[in-house]
Copies of this chain bind each other. A is one copy, B any other.
Amino acid sequence: MELMIPLNTKGPGPMYEQIYRFIKEEIRQGNLTAGSRLPSTRVLAENLKVSRSTTQMAYEQLLSEGYIDSEPCRGYYVAQIEELVEVKEAPAGRFVPEQEEKGNGIDVDFSPRGIDLDRFPFQIWRKISRNVLVDDNRALFLNGDPQGEYALRQAIGSYLHSARGVRCRPDQIIIGAGSEYLLMLLSLILGGDRVIAMENPTYKQAYRVFRSQGYQVRPVNMDRSGIMASELDGGMGEGADTVYVMPSHQYPMGTVMSVRRRQELLSWACAKEGRYLIEDDYDSEFRYKGKPIPALQGMDQNGRVIYIGTFSKSIAPAIRIGFLVLPQELMMRYREKAGFFSSTVSRPDQNILYQFLTEGHYERHLNRMRAVYKGKHDILLGGLRDFEEAFSIGGEYAGLHVLLTDRKGRYTEEELEKAAGKKGIRVYGLSRYFIHPEHNSYPPTVLLGYASLSAEEIQRGLKGLKEAWGIA
């Protein structure tokens, strides 16, 4: 494939943009068909007598707009724009997990819980896992530290420090099998009959855990800056002694809690003995706009913040590894009340993760995924421009989903879901995230998760939604 691209050093726009425009048109007009390979950046640069980074910038632009796909070490390929539904073949042979297929004629599922596993570094994971199991390290199969392997806690601690501004020593960290288990454990540690204030709507699994542990829960309203801290004294949250929040990207609202609100929360927590803030940082890795705000835990000077995180979003939900960072004060309570619990994460798994972290694979993977999700995010947001007259868009600054709110109230939430469903598109009504769905006073709103979808699927989904909701 030799491309004849007219380049003008002083032409309209910079060189990389000329290249980008040219190729984009070629694809749109069908001169470059889906699946065909573009010249490599080097070859093209050579032909055009420009630097490689020039061609590269052009390709990156095309990539982020979904016109082409990149396959590392192989080449760039023209993407399948507008294309019929490809049949997803079942994972054959080995163990076949069930209920994996999309049922009910759903073609595009905008699930806010999905993640993209296409770029998961299976190779590396496999290699590490093999290495961990070699040199028959017997100790690896004996009982380990109940808090989790010390070295792993060290690695997590240093990551949290640099990436999230969390300040802790490894012995404040407790490794456990997933956030639900960790919240359960935390309930044991906090003990007693706590009254927990939660954002409303919120992450329902957390709500269920607290309820199952006999805690009272007070739903507290949110505004654009996050939870209404004022309601903790003399409002909906009256009487609460603990607050569960997701400051970096609230689920499901997508709100990023303002710095001011964070400080209000912290001073609330310090005002009375025994108050705690639980910071669930499930989603902090992905951000698209605005400056990063360090974790609440890092702003806290008085040991009132309990930090909880997992690798479910950033690596994979199935690896089931999360961690709790307890303030020093609670460590004694932990040792007393739950220190005897054996770790819930297998030791070989902890070691695999340890290697993954310390050898820099995690960082590389995060960088890659950030780029991937940014790309999908941009495609989605781009496509949603057509919706803007009828719908307002929310939560788009971070995370892996956005919210669409019916501006004119033409449809109810249920109608939005149903109409989409008839076109084979699945969207998720906001009501289901309310502690008491009947108290949902928001205008009709649905969630659109895009992490697990390809660029084509996103575009196909948006097209379906347009038809479903009658958008020109």
Known: A177-B344, A320-B343. A337 touches B212 (CB 8 A): yes
Candidate in A1, A141, A165 with the most chain B CB atoms within 10 angstroms = A141
B95 touches A180 (CB 8 A): no
- Do B318 and A142 touch across chains, with their CB atoms under 8 A apart? yes
Write out the residue numbers on chain B whose beta carbons fall within 8 Å of the beta carbon of A321.
346
Given A144-B318, A367-B43, the answer on whether A122 and B93 have CB atoms closer than 8 Å is no
Q: Name A205-243 residues within 8 Å CB distance of B.
A: 205, 208-209, 212
Contact of A162 among B3, B141, B151 (CB under 8 A): B3
Measured in the bound complex, the distance between the Cα atoms of B6 and A19 in whole Å is 38
List of B residues within 8 angstroms of A126 by Cβ: 130, 133-134
Which residues from chain B contact A118 at a C-beta distance below 8 Å? 138
Identify the closest chain B residue to A366 (Cβ).
B2
Query: Chain A, 405-445, contact with B by CB distance < 8 Å: what is the 0/1 string?
Result: 00000000000000000000000000000000000000000
A316 and B49 contacting across the interface, CB-CB below 8 Å: no
B-contact 0/1 string along A324-364, CB 8 Å cutoff: 00000000000001101111111111010011001000010
List the one stretch of A66-74, A290-298, A454-462 in contact with chain B.
Answer: A290-298
From 36 to 61 in chain A, residues with beta carbon under 8 angstroms from any chain B beta carbon are 43, 46-49
> Taking A133-B122, A292-B48, A358-B91 as contacts, is the C-beta distance between A4 and B346 under 8 angstroms?
no
Q: In the complex, are the beta carbons of B1 and A363 less than 8 A apart?
A: yes
Instruction: Answer whether A162 and B117 are a contact pair too, CB < 8 Å, given A178-B344, A318-B143, A344-B181.
Output: no
Is residue A132 within 8 Å, beta carbon to beta carbon, of the partner chain?
Answer: yes
Contacting pair A138 B162 (CB below 8 A):
no
Beta-carbon contact of B136 and A122 below 8 Å: yes
Q: Which residue from chain B places its CB closest to the CB of A339 in the assembled complex?
A: B208
Least distance between A365 CB and chain B CB atoms (Å):
12
Residues from 61 to 105 in A contacting B, C-beta threshold 8 Å: 90-91, 93-100
